[in-house]
Structure 1
Amino acid sequence: MINDQAQSVPPVRDEARPVTGSAVGRIFGGLLVLAFAAVTGLFAPLMVMASDSCSEGDARMICSAGTQQIVGTLPIAAAFVAALLAVVGMGSRGAAAIGCLLAAPCLLVLAWVVSLALASA
């Protein structure tokens, strides 16, 4: 006995979009930015050690407590924001992805330049 009233099952469709070159490029670029952010967050704060040679009357900029705070925290904050931008850039498409993935390394380079300038002045 065949049940003619049984519902037919719809066919299974594979609607996943294929991975394109731009998606692979975004992911690869984002991973590079994440690695740069990790290096910045781990090693750039060590520039505070430039103040080791400071004496009591030293007038160099790195010898002030405020400058040491900036040199120590700026790279960590920049690395955190750049990592967020990299993740957003990897997850989105279009101009937003490109903008985030270009802004993140610029932010990291700016943090390095400012920290190095303060540590050497």
Structure 2
Amino acid sequence: MINDEAPTALPVRDEAQSVRASVVGRIFIGLLILAFAGVTGLFAPLLVMASDSCNEGDARMICSAGAQQIVGGLPVAAAFVAALLAVVGMGSRSAAGWGCLVAAPCVLVVSWVVSLGIAGA
């Protein structure tokens, strides 16, 4: 006995689910931030070499030991924090993930501005 009123089977789709543009964009932006963090962590501490021309009694800010420690350590710490923010931003699908991706380059830019300000003053 054949039941003509039986529901038909749903068609099988062979299409793979496409990657959303926001995921690709978030990963691309995160990788750019990681590259910027790497450049900051490697090269910004070299601004300490601005103190090479310091003489005894020099009043420039870079000539103090505290300022040299800030110029040497701040970019490394900022690069580490920015890399963490970038990884969290790439992995999160919420609005907080985008917030991390926006905050990371801001941290890096602030470290560059402060370091260049001290080294150039």
**Aligned counterpart, 1:44:** 44
Look up the equivalent residue of 1:46 and give its one-letter code. L
Q: TM-score, normalised by structure 2?
A: 0.85
**Aligned counterpart, 2:79:** 79
The alpha-carbon deviation at position 57 of structure 1 amounts to 1.1
**Aligned counterpart, 2:7:** none
The alpha-carbon deviation at position 79 of structure 1 amounts to 0.1
- Match of 2:59, SS state, is coil
**Aligned counterpart, 1:69:** 69
Q: For residues 73-104 of structure 1, what are the alpha-carbon distances to aligned partners after superposition, in whole Å with 9 as ceiling and x for unaligned? A: 00000000000000000000121111000000
Mapping 1:1-121, distance limit 5 Å: 18-121=18-121
The alpha-carbon deviation at position 23 of structure 1 amounts to 0.2
Q: For residues 48-89 of structure 1, what are the alpha-carbon distances to aligned partners after superposition, in whole Å with 9 as ceiling and x for unaligned? A: 000000001111100000000000000000000000000000
**Structure 1 spans left out of the alignment, 5+ residues:** 1-15
Q: TM-score, normalised by structure 1?
A: 0.85
Q: Identify if the C-alpha distance between structure 1 residues 17 and 88 changes in structure 2 by more than 3 Å, giving closer, same or farther.
A: farther
Look up the equivalent residue of 2:74 and give its one-letter code. L
The alpha-carbon deviation at position 25 of structure 1 amounts to 0.3
- Match of 1:77, SS state, is helix
Of the structure 1 ranges 32-41 and 89-98, higher mean CA displacement relative to structure 2 is found in: 89-98
Q: Distance in 1 between matches of 2:17 and 2:51?
A: 54
**Aligned counterpart, 1:4:** none
Q: Give aligned pairs, total.
A: 107
- Report % sequence identity: 78
**Structure 2 spans left out of the alignment, 5+ residues:** 1-15
Q: Distance in 2 between matches of 1:91 and 1:99?
A: 12
- Match of 1:69, SS state, is helix
Q: CA RMSD in A?
A: 1.4
